[in-house]
Each structure stands twice: as C-alpha cells, then as structure tokens.
Structure 1
Amino acid sequence: MALDTHGSTQDARDAAGAAGSVLVPIGALLLGLMLAALDQTIVSTALPTIVSDLGGLEHLSWVVTAYLLASTAVTPLWGKLGDQYGRKRLFQLAIVIFLVGSALCGMAQNMPQLIIFRALQGLGGGGLIVLSMAIVGDMVPPRDRGRYQGLFGAVFGTTSVLGPLLGGLFTQHLSWRWVFYVNLPLGIVALAVIATSLHIPRLRARHVIDYLGTFLIAAVATCLVLVASLGGTTWAWNSPRIIALAALGVVLTGVFVQVERRAAEPVLPLKLFRIRTFTLAALISFIVGFAMFGAMTYLPTFLQVVHGISPTLSGVHMLPMVAGLLLSSTVSGQIVSHTGRWKVFPIAGTGLTTIALLLLHRLDEHSSTAVMSSYFFVLGLGLGLVMQVLVLIVQNAVSYEDLGVATSGATFFRSIGASFGVAIFGTVFASRLAVELGGAFRGVHLPSGITVNSLQADPRDIGGLPPPLRTAALHAFSTSITDVFLYAAPVAFLGFALAWFLKEDRLRASVTAPEGTQTLASNPVQRSSYDEVCRALSLLGTREGRRETYRKITERAGYDLLPGASWLLLRIRKHGSVEPGVLAQSGLVSLGVVMDAARQIEERHLAVREGLSLYLTDRGREAAERLAQAREGSLAELLGDWWGPDRPTDLDRLVKVLTDEMCGSWREQPPSGPAPKFT
C-alpha cells in the first residue's frame, strides 16, 4: 500500500475522534451555508408567479437586488464582529435574522413588503456565508482545512446552481411562499445543532471597524441601483428625483473616498486601485456579475411567459447554463493550476459571454428547446471561464498584507455588478414591454377587464386573450425580454476589451488553488490574508499524495531514501521514538512500507532499536533536521515573493505549523525517562 496517510494507531484514533467531534457541527454549518446560497437563486423561477400574485412587474428586479445588496454590504461587518465577539454567537444571530426574514417574506402581501423582508433576509444571509467558512478554520487544523473548505465550496456551488430548479418545484407543486418557508425547519435544525454541539475557542482579535465606510459604500451602491431600476420606468430619466438620486450617489462617493483615506482598517483600501491588475479585474468582475444574474433573473420569465413552460421545467431548462458554468470553471481552474498561464481565460470568457448574449437576443416565441439550451450552455461556458480566474489574478497582484481584502474586493464588485445588472435588465424590460404592448394593441378592442396596464402587471391575463391577440402579446413579451440581452452585449464586450489589458504575471503556486466559494459565490469572501494563505497551502497539501510529498522533500534534502524512511525519521524526530509494529497495526500504512522504512534507516545507521522502539542516532537527527528544513522550504517556495526577508511573522508561524502537521503527527506519548543516546 502506498504511503499516503498520517499513520499510527493513535493517529487513527485521534483522527476518528476529531472527525466524529466535528462532523455534526460541520453538518450544521453546511446547512446554514446552503440556505444562504440557495436564497440567492431560488427565487428566479418563482418571480413570474410572485409578480402575478402580488403585482408590480416593474419592481420584479428588487426581489433579487434587495437580497444581494444587503448581504454584500454587511459581509465585512460579520467577519470582523465575529473576530471580536466570538463567531458562534454571531452565527446564531445570523441564523435568527435569516429565519425571521424568511418567515416575513413568506407572509408578504405586496411587493414593497417582500422587497423589505428580502433585504432583512440578506442581512442574515451574508453572515451565514462568511461565518460558516470562518468557523471551519477555528475547528480544524490547517492540514485538514483544505478538505473541509473544499466541501463547503462544493455545497455552495451545487446549491447556488440548483436554486432555480428547486424554486420551480416549490412554486408549481406548493406555493411560491414555500420558496421562503422551506428555510424555517432547516434553519431551526441548524440553530439547535450549533447551540448544543459547536464548541470553538473564543479567540478575540481587536479591530477598528470601518462602520462609516461600510455604510457609505452600501449607500452609494443603493443610489446607483435605484437610479438604474427607477429611471425611465417609475420616474422619467430627467425627473428631479432621479437627478437627485444620481447627485447623492456622486456626493456619497466623494465622502467615501475621504473616509477610506483616513480609516485604520478601510473596508476597501483605495491603494488597491493603484494596481492596474486589481482595477481591471474589479471592473471585469462587475461585468460578469451583471451578465450572470441579469440572465438568471429574466430567462425564467422568458421561458414561463413566452413559452408557457411550468416553473419546474423552467428550472430544468436553466440546467445547460449551469452545466456550462461548472464545466468551464472547473477545467479552467485545473489548467491554470498546472500551467500557471491564465490570460487567455478572461479574454475567452468575456468574448464568449458577449456572443452568448447576442445569441439570446435572437430567441423568440418560436425557438426550439434545443436552440435555447445550446444558447444557455454557451452563456454558462463564457461566465465559467472568467469567474474562476479573476480571483486568482487579484490574489497574485497584491502584497501579502492586502491579500484578504483584495480577494473580498474582487468578489464585492461581482456582487454589486449582479445587483446593478438585475436592476438594469429590469428597467430595460419594463420600458420595452410598455412600448411593445402599446404598439401591438393601439386601437385594438381588448376583452373586458384586460388592458395594456393589466397585461404588464400580470402576465396571466394573456390567457384571456383571443388567439390572434394572444400571439401579439407573447411576441411583445418575447421582444422585450430578448432586447435586454442586446443591451447587455456591449457591456460584456467592454469586459472583453478590458481583459486584453491585463498583464500576465507568473502566478505564485499558492494562488493556483482556487476555491468554489470564491468563484461561484455572488457574496464577497471575507478572510484575513493569513486565512487566505492557510487555505491555499492546505489545499495544495491535500492535492499531492503523502508518498509524493515525502519523495519530493527527500530529494530536496539531498538523500537517497525511501519516502517511508523520511516519514519515519520525522516521526521519531518529533516524539523521540516510535514502535514500527504499532504503526503497521493501524492499517493506515501497510506492514511492508513500515518494515522497509525501518530496515533502511537501521541499515544506514540513522536509527537504532532499543526494545521495540526506534531512536535516532546523531546522524539520524541531522538527517531528520534537514528533511524538516526541506519541507519548510518547499512550503515557503509556494508563497513566491511573499516569502521575503521582511515577511510577516504570521507567515513564519503558518509554515512551521503546516510543516509540523504534515511531517510529524505521531501522537502517542513518548516513553517516560530520557531517551538513550546513540552515535
């Protein structure tokens, strides 16, 4: 059996005990994360039904935007407050806020109520995402963190993309209100499990929290989205209210810049914008969020209203887009990890997204399922190619001290882009629909109780029209929705043009370990620079097998030893002695591997046997020391130019911790009394 585990009976017992102690709370954390991820996308297929029930088609976009804006704005606060006051208590508070918001959303009687309650739900949702992943870091050692955080990424990605399908199922077979009510039993279970089984240390870190900066950036984003969603529909573009909102946004932007220049811990350090790669990546992230959430919000409306597809099947029809996104994001991430080359992906991704939006513009009420599915798949491919890479190139462009805030900054702009995109798509759709319906039915006598305004407010009225008029109404809806994609195409093309100006610097190895929660999430990821590097190095550590790890460090140290022999030397170095027989009995490492390793280090006079135990000789201690230094050096190499003479002390600490964990986790108590000295 290959040497690919950590190995000993006590290791196995410790690992099993640790796994057992964290599995239940990890499950509860995953449940909380799943709820927050689900509510970003689950409403998309329910929106046509919600609008038909509550009215207010022109405000449809705000059901999505309110959640995105609220969760994005409070993400930095949840992260830092968790550091100061304990993450368990804050996570419980986030669940309660989220559940209260969910219950109120399910009981909403009109569109304004639903929008307000969605914002409340978003306040809790932002905390669920940030704190669930941060708590993993409190519960498991760095060596295992990559595996657990990879699990969180998989759950987040799967839940996000299956949201439209689940939303359709609930809407069709129960009620659109169950899109929100489903959170209640799941959230209560998570709350109970967290209260009883989650035990984490209260490690407090003092922060100077930038409350004013957080409020201002949220206010600026809200002003911009209000202008985009209300201009040309509720109020004319040249109306005093729209002009006032735009002017307020500009003034608040100026105030935000001044506040961030003086803030001790700014929510978005302005110095990042002096880095060309960060600025370009932030703009492209904005465009990607714009295109992705705009399409995900209005494609189900096109399918349900224009093609008469049920809510459930509209979710199924969206799966080709999801498949394309997952496929291209996974493949591009793997290629970047192995080659270190990345520039082709943002160029190809934004270019393909532009083409996909133009193709979506060609859809009409006669388009076949095969044609629609192929266009959706192309859009997913384009988005996936660029989403994965943008986070990596931002991490690669900044200094270590700015790594955490730059990562959250890149995903922040994608979230704001999503909010802005949904609002713009909604404005274009509402204004085009008014024009198209007005033109189609000008001078036409409509059946009693049906007017152009009622058709705009409730698409179900189309069913009350005679066949010729019904065809005209469906064409008006089709044209209005597909025109949205035509207007979005130039925005995506701008991203394509900007991508050519990215400078392809060589990637540090530690940033070629992408994570799903950073690439598929619409919410910002909020972690410190230390957490970010810890996640990347531990993820890299789990990718390469244990045997390969020890083969590399043996070669680096200049020895001709079996990988198992190096592993055994490092075990003895840490704990004074080991019993090869006990290691073999664990079943995690084969008897042959252990015996061959023990025989070789004895033959080379690196260790001697005293009873059943092996002890290092002076030569063995020297070899083990060189092997430990080799492992530390290989980890440091992954950090690239962050590992300089003026590196932060926490990087030193992280590398030493990972070296210790990966090379010497024999946990059995060493024998009492001094170890014999051999030469």
Structure 2
Amino acid sequence: MGTPNTPPTTASNSIDQASPTKSAATLSIRHVSGESTPPPTGPSRLHTNDQTSQNAAITTPHDTQWLTGTPLAIISSLIATAVFLMMLDASIISTAIPRITDTFHSLPDIGWYASIYQLSSAVLQPLSGRIYQRFPNKPSFLTFLFLFELGSLICGAASSSAMLIAGRAVAGMGSAGLVTGGLTIIAASAPLHKRAALVGVIMGVGQMGLAIGPLLGGVLTSYVSWRWCFYVNLPVGGLLVLGLGLASVPEQCPKPSARRVWRSLQSELDLPGLALLAPAAVQLLLALEWGGSRYSWGSVTVVGLFCGSAVAAWFWFLWNWFRGDAALMPVSLMRVRAVWTGAITHCLIMTGVFCASFFLPIYFQAVKGVTPMMSGVCVLASVLSQLVALPLAGRMVELTGYVIPFALFSAIAGAVSNGLYSTLSPATSTAQWIGYQVLNGFGRGVGMPMAVLAVQAALPPHDLAMGNAIIMFVQTLGTAITLAASDAIFEGSLEAELPLRAPRVNAAAVLAAGATHFREIVAESDLPGVVAAYAASVDRVFYLAAGASVVAAFSCLGLEWVDMREKERLSAGDDVPLEEYEG
C-alpha cells in the first residue's frame, strides 16, 4: 500500500516542562520535529481506568506516520464509499416501501422500516466512540462494516416483515460506527491542516448517497426487485472489506492491549451507562415516530414514552456524572466548548440538509407533478453544488487556518436559502428553484466539515474518537427530533390548508393517497387548490430549517479560533499556551 512518510511537525507535540522560566500555570506545548507526544491531558482529559496507560500516553513519545499520496487516497476512498453505502441505505428504502408492504401485507409496519434503522444507529453512537478509543481502528471498523453488511443480507433475504425489521436493526447497529470510525481513521492518517478537504469529500460523498437513494431505489424496485435495494450493498461491501484488509490503517494514539480491555469490558465501555441511555433514546424516538401518526400526541402511549424517556435520561445523567471521565460520554469532554458547540452547530446544519432531502422531493412530486424518479433528478442542483463546495471549503481552511468564518457563512447561506425555499409555489420557475438549491447546497457544503474539524483541533488524539461519536450522536438524535417536528408541521398544515383551498375535496382521502397519487382522485377543477395546499405546507417546514440556521450562526461562534495552518504550527520556538490549546 506504500510506505507512509514521517509526519510534519504540525502534529509533533511535546510538553515543554524543562524551562525554569515557566511555571505550572504557564505550561506550554512546544512543537518539535519528529516526535508526537499527546498534548497535556492529565486525568481529566484521558478517559481510562488504567493509570499506567495514562502515564505512558503522557510521557512516552509516539511516532505517528502520516499517510500521503496513494495510501492516503486509498484509505479516504474506502471510507468515503462505506459512508456512501450507509447514507444510501438510510434513504433508498423510501421508494421501495410500497412494494415491500405488498409483498408482506404489512402496512402497519411501514414506520418501523425506517425508524428502527435510526433507533439502533443513534443508541450505539456513544458506544462506537468508546470502542474506537479502546480497540484498534481496522478491526473495529471492519466489525461495524460486517454488521452493516449482515443487516443488508438479512433484509434482502427477508421472508417476513419481522425478519426485514430485524435486518434493518442490525444494519443500523453497523452504521453507528462507520462515520465515527471513518473520521477517526482520517484523523490518524493526515495532519490537522490537511483533514479539512478529506473530511469534506467524505461527507459530500455520503450526502450524495442520501440524495440519490430514492432515485436508485425507484429504479431497482421498478425494474429488478425491491430486494436489490439491500443486495446492492453486498458486492460493494465485499470490495471494501478486501481493500481495508490489505490497507495499512493507522492509529490516532497508543491503545491498551485488547486482552486488558476484554478483562474489564463492562467498565472500559461503560455498559451500564449504555443500558440507561438506550431506553431514553429509544423511547424518545418512538414517541416522535408514533406521535401524530399511529397515536395522537396526547395519547397514553405517546405521553408515557415521553415520560419514560425523561426518567431514563435523568438516571443516565446521574450515572454519567458519577462515572466522570470513565462514563459512556466523558464529563470533561462535554465541558469542552468546541465539543458541545460543535455538536449543536453540526446538528443544526444537518437539520437543513435533511429537511431539503425529504421535503424538496415532495414539492417536486406534489406541486410540480413529476415522478419520484424525476424528483431525484430535480434535486441534483443541490447535490452537485454541495460536492463542489466541500473540497473548496477544505482548501480554504488550509489557507486561512480557521473554521468559524466558514461555519458562519454556511449558517447565513442556510438561513437565506431556506427562507427562499419557504416561498416555493406552483408558479416558481425552474431558474428560481435551481438558484435556491445552488445557494443552499453550496452553503451547507461549506459548513458540514467545520464542526468536526473544530472538535478535532480542540481534543488530543486519545479523545478524537469519542469527540466524533458525540457529534454523530447529537446529530442523529437531533435530526430525528427535527424531522419528526417537520413532519408534524407539514401534516398539520396540510390538514388545515386543504379545507380552505379545496373545500370540495375529501381531505382524508387526499392525505391517504399521498404526494404521488392524489391527482388520481382529485377532480381537475379542485387540483389547483390541493397543489397550493401542498406548496404552502412544504413552505412552512422550511421556516423550521431557516430558524435552525439562524441559531447555528450563533452556536458556531463557540467553535474557537484555533489556527490549523501548518506554518503556524511549524514556527520554531513558538510556544502555544495550554489555555489556548484547551480553549
């Protein structure tokens, strides 16, 4: 796979404690070529129960070998492909669900096909960070990839609705560690100032999978079989396993022996914490999934789920606080400003991404009257502009060294473009909706990598996996909440608008027919009113997305002004104050 090169001095840090002119209060990091000692951490920054390992990680130089050239390109391509498959699997099922329900006569199970994937993925996100923190990157990533592929195989071969749901759960468990693991491996493969472009490309390729999933699902379902929506992951996954098996996957920091971790697995991974967090997340997501659809928001079931989630979350919070830095989500990490503001910012930016991905196709199908397949073509303007912006944003970070200006630009562009989306109507011209998408896609492409880069700049190597996992957990849970809110806004608005704009139609029948079939049951004279009701309801969803972008404009200011440029970290003799490093 090629011989990696010795890292530049950007990542080569050693603790300068020898100078008699420096007191403990002014402890600083000096950058010395050829060495890479983890930054000053102490017990509050290294989260392990093995004090010997802590001391070794603090005092023993670790010779990191950055990947360059072909090896780096290969690792990045493999990770990007894995993330693409994961995002594709999350959205491809949307156009296959009608045929699946025909096969299994399982209309009541529709909600489970999508939600169980999100549930299992969200619950295991924090655990995936602990796993990458304790175990080697390659076997950990391959294990999660194997689970994802196994879930896809179960879904493709499903002989019942229950078997399909179980397969989706297994695939979701595997997906929990793919993004976290991919970001962790990239952090171990390239110095900080070169990660921006790599992270941007990986996220962009992943979002492309989310965007083309419904289009590919429609093609496979129409011309082959819905089962190939899942089987398509198998040959690509097999090539990924082969490629990763042959590749040299670096580590972000020294790790304890697997035998030592297995001996105290319950404590090392904080399995009791997972047992408390999982019910809280599952009950919350179920309440959001079922509220307003299967049950009313005021029903005993939904209220009970909300209450149960709150109680479980409270007990988890107490346990997490008691465990401190040995907890599932270490307390000291949650106190780092770049971590919690980064998680919030990334979640808010991704809220706009998911709103556009789910509701723009509804606009094109219901208002413009295109087919589901063509609606996938109509959103390509957003996808392509995002793909252009992601590597460009990474290059700009390399040149300027800072993430806050680009995160702020992304938030402002998101607020403006989502505001423009909220004006979509039956009369909106092609040039207008393409322009709106270009602005939105370019803005979110610029902003998506920024929170991840800020967290990686703020944390020592030992904590990178956990920092990545926290971002992914908050994003998964947060976007699930906002999508449920978006769905409630859309359905509530449609129920209110139909009697006003098309009083002669049967509103319940229109709602049951869905965005692609209501034209078959609505009279020609009533069609403009129904179309206008759909347009107004889609518009109101983007009020939420625009509001999220406005909040992101404020939260991104907490990402810290850390200069990532190589030349700043190569300045011979320059000492970076510990307070500046930790923020």
TM-score, normalisation: structure 2: 0.70
Q: 1:84/1:485 Cα in 2 relative to 1: closer, same or farther (>3 Å)? A: closer
Q: Does 1:204 align with 2:261?
A: no
Query: Deviations for 1:390-449, whole angstroms, at most 9, x for unmatched residues?
Result: 233334455676555334323432232222222222232233334444556655479xxx
Cα distance in 1 for residues equivalent to 2:419 and 2:510:
29
Q: Which runs of 5+ in 1 are unaligned?
A: 7-17, 513-539, 545-551, 553-632, 648-679
The aligned counterpart of 1:37 is 84
Pair 1:257 & 2:317 matched: yes
Q: 2:452 aligns with which of 365, 380, 391?
A: 391
2:307 aligned partner, one-letter code: A
Equivalent in the alignment of 2:512: 454
Root-mean-square deviation (CA), in Å?
4.5
Question: Does the 8 Å CA contact 1:44/1:167 hold for their aligned counterparts?
Answer: yes
Alignment partners' CA distance in 1, 2:209 and 2:142 = 26
- Give 1:623's aligned residue: none
Q: 2:483 aligns with which of 410, 419, 422?
A: 422
How far is the alpha carbon of 1:159 from its aligned partner?
4.4
Deviation at 1:354, TM superposition (A): 1.9
The 1:392–1:137 alpha-carbon spacing in structure 2 relative to 1, beyond 3 Å, is closer
Between the aligned partners of 1:271 and 1:300, the Cα distance in structure 2 is: 42
Which of 545, 548, 573 is the matching residue for 1:491?
548
Give the secondary structure class of the aligned counterpart of 1:468: coil
Counterpart of 1:94 in structure 2 is: 144
> 160, 178, 183: which one pairs with 2:207?
160
Taking the TM superposition and a 5 Å limit, the aligned residue runs for 1:234-633 are 234-263=294-323, 265-397=326-458, 402-437=463-498, 444=505, 451-452=509-510, 454-456=512-514, 459-499=516-556, 502=557, 505-509=560-564
1:68 touches 1:122 (CA, 8 Å); kept in 2? yes
Mapped to 2, the partners of 1:387 and 1:97 lie a distance apart of: 27
Counterparts in 2 of 1:405 and 1:186: CA distance versus 1, 3 Å: closer
Determine whether 1:50 maps to 2:97. Answer: yes
- Provide the C-alpha distance between the structure 1 equivalents of 2:68 and 2:440, rounded to a whole number of angstroms: 40
* CA shift in 2, pair 1:363/1:105, >3 Å: farther
Aligned-pair identity (%): 24
Q: Which has the larger radius of gyration?
A: 1
DSSP-derived class of the 1:459 partner = coil
Paired with 1:156 and 1:459, the residues of 2 have a C-alpha distance of: 30
- Structure 1 segment 58-77 matched on structure 2, within 5 A: 65-77=115-127
Does structure 2 conserve the Cα–Cα contact (< 8 Å) formed by 1:67 and 1:121?
Answer: yes
For 2:445 and 2:244, locate their aligned partners in 1 and report how far apart those are by CA, in whole Å. 34
- CA shift in 2, pair 1:637/1:348, >3 Å: farther
From the superposition, tell whether residues 472 and 372 of structure 1 become closer, same or farther in structure 2 (CA, over 3 Å). Answer: same
Shift in Å, 1:123? 1.0
- Distance apart, 1:209 and its partner CA: 0.9
Distance (whole Å) between structure 2 residues aligned to residue 431 and residue 59 of structure 1: 22
Segments of 5+ residues of structure 2 without an aligned counterpart are 7-66, 262-267
Native 8 Å contact 1:233 1:430 kept in 2: no
Partner in structure 2 of residue 651 of structure 1:
none
Matches of 1:336 and 1:133, distance apart in 2: 17
Task: For residue 276 of structure 1, report the CA deviation from its aligned partner.
Answer: 4.2
In structure 2, distance between residues paired with 1:145 and 1:344: 18
Cα distance in 2 for residues equivalent to 1:199 and 1:340: 29
2:570 aligned residue: 634
Using the TM superposition, give the Cα deviation of residue 182 of structure 1 relative to its aligned residue in structure 2, in angstroms: 0.8
Render the CA deviation track for 1:197-256: whole Å, top value 9, x for unaligned: 568899835441122323433433333333333333332232222222222222222112
State the 1:105 CA deviation: 3.5
The number of residues matched between the two structures is 500
The answer for the alignment partner of 1:182 in structure 2 is: 232
TM-score between both structures, scaled by the size of structure 1: 0.61
Q: How many angstroms apart in 1 are the aligned matches of 2:371 and 2:134?
A: 48
